[in-house]
Amino acid sequence: MLADVDFDIPIDADKLAGFRAAMKEDTVLGDADAANVIRQEVFAPSITGPDVRCLLYVPDNDDGSRAGYLHIHGGGYIMGEPEMSDVMSILIAEKLGAVVCSVDYRLAPEHPVPAPLDDCYAALAWFHQHASEWNVDTSRIGIGGESAGGGLAAALAIHARYKGEYAICHQHLTYPMIDNLTGTESNMGDPLTGEFVWTRESNRFGWASYLGEAPAVAPQVPSRLEDYASLPNTWLYTASMDLFRDENIAYAQELMKAGVSTELIVLAGACHGFQMVPGTSLGKKYVDDFLAALEKGLG
């Protein structure tokens, strides 16, 4: 949980190190042993950089064939690590019996496009190649993430479709960060969104850091995609006060137009990061909805 980090202050180059340190300090690991889940650190080979560190969560039982879930953490493309999603990763492994692989991708601005997506694809490849070690059915591997992690998951689904090497059965997107124009002069958006946690200023900095000198095109910017056909079935969860609300709704609509099975939820009264605040009814609803939809999506 990251409830103590004050994200309402816009993030810029001078404040980035402080935000990263605060997130790391505020991250609390779950009790994997109590959930009967084995947590381990693994490394996926990469052809474009160093091996990609991941956290792997394996249910400590033998219940036959399992699903797999490749998780990508949030943080505006500029901060974060898989440990900050540890509690949810344990819960997925415990409640759904799925093996979870959570990716520690390289962060911008030190590592802009294409490094973060390259790391996620390397993790997907490794997960498929080693699936038999945990009895994971490769036809039941889904992907997902929150915020920038949701953006990278959407980008990964597009990239994997282009490559045609590794199947993805489902994408599970929580308020994904998918449009670099949101919060810019050309698309300031609804003034009732973007006031809390992730602001227009932070969004502009995050996208500029992530793109670097690269053009704003798909797959790295999923909203620039022209052909949505044959993408994985999708669950997209956004919030009424989230800066990404309208880009998320538009993305879901494009998926539906292309015939992709899509479930869109817009949670009233919630802002970006709402589920990180412990003990709220909205957070509980999110977890319940998340697990039920993921179980369905993974088959």
Known catalytic residues?
A: 147, 242, 272
61 contact partners, CB below 8 Å, separation of at least 6: 36, 97
Cross-strand partners of 171 = 143, 234
CA 117 to chain centre: 12
Cα torsion angle, 164, 179, 102, 78, sign = positive
Q: Give φ, ψ of 120 to 5 degrees.
A: -65, -40
Amino acid at 137: D
Q: Which residue has the tokens 């002069």?
A: 185
- End-to-end CA distance of the chain: give it in Å, rounded: 28
Contact yes or no for 231/255 (Cβ under 8 A): yes
Q: Give φ, ψ of 76 to 5 degrees.
A: 65, 20
CA 298 to chain centre: 16
**What's the chain's Rg over C-alpha atoms?**
18
What is the distance between the alpha carbons of residues 77 and 99, in angstroms, rounded to a whole number? 25
